[in-house]
Amino acid sequence: MLTGQGRWHATRVAWSISMTNFRAGFEYRTDFLLSIALGVMWQSSVVVFATVLLTRFPGVGGWTSPQVLLLASMRMCSHGLVALLLGPIDMMGRIVREGRLDAYLLRPLPLFRQVQLSWLSVNALGDLIVAVIMFGCAVSWFDLTWTLWRVIMLVAGILGGFFMEGAVLVVMSSITMHFTGWQYWSTWLQGVVTMVSVYPLSILPLVPHLLLTYLLPVAFIAYIPAAVVTGHVSGTLAPQWAAVASPLIGAAAFMAARRLWNWSAQRYQGANG
């Protein structure tokens, strides 16, 4: 268990490694800028979705266009933070196959922290640029009165979405640590999350809606927090208390996923099994 001084030292080490990764990436400026541009282009589909939504349709599933845009931007902000802060965790299959995880085990820094800081996802900076622009537009076009409660829930909802999506990513990484072929299923699963998480899930039939709320908790990434902000909680399949507590549920899920990851790491037997 780290003391206060130990935590401060670990934070300084993590910050130093992060800055080193950033400077190393920026050393090749053209590649750095192209990677950011790629991240922006990767999110262009969401930009097109937002443009069509705002110009062609009055709303989706009882949500007005500005409210759906707020939902999509909250999801993008959460995802951008996940890609920036937890991106290397998603590459566990490659890390294991290349034998790098075995080398990490020989170092004194915690294993999860080493994997997390192994490289900087420059593309994520492009994701965040698009997310922040869309978020600013959504906030300015929001068609309800901003209250202190809504502002608090908005910020907490983005952080809770980060934790919930991060929890899904960490669980997938825990499995991939032992079954590297699971990486392909993990990528497919993330594609499903990306595809459905920018829409109000109330437009789906009951069974998929239930599955995406309680089996694969996509609803807690952005839909339920956005429903609290916009007053659409009754359309979700979550109880009122769970909807309001969704950021805390996301944080709890991430803590549980980290425990699973640590348990899985303790049983890691090497790249050759």
**pLDDT at residue 114 in the model:** 87
Q: How many CB atoms lie within 10 A of CB 72?
A: 24
- Phi and psi at 111, nearest 5°, equal -60, -45
Contact by Cβ (8 Å): 243, 236: yes
| pLDDT per residue as tens digits for the range 83-133 | 888 988 888 888 888 888 888 888 878 889 888 888 777 777 778 888 888
pTM for the complete prediction?
Answer: 0.86
Per-residue pLDDT at 11: 66
pLDDT tens, position by position, 163-189? 999 999 999 999 998 888 787 888 888
Length of the chain: 273
Spatial separation of the C-alpha atoms in residues 96 and 37, rounded to whole Å: 29
- Kindly report, residue by residue over 45-78, the tens digit of the pLDDT: 666 766 676 667 677 788 888 898 899 899 989 9
Range with the lowest mean pLDDT among 7-16, 87-96, 150-159?
7-16
The whole-angstrom separation of Cα 162 and Cα 77 is 8
Q: What are phi and psi of 123, to 5 degrees?
A: -55, -35
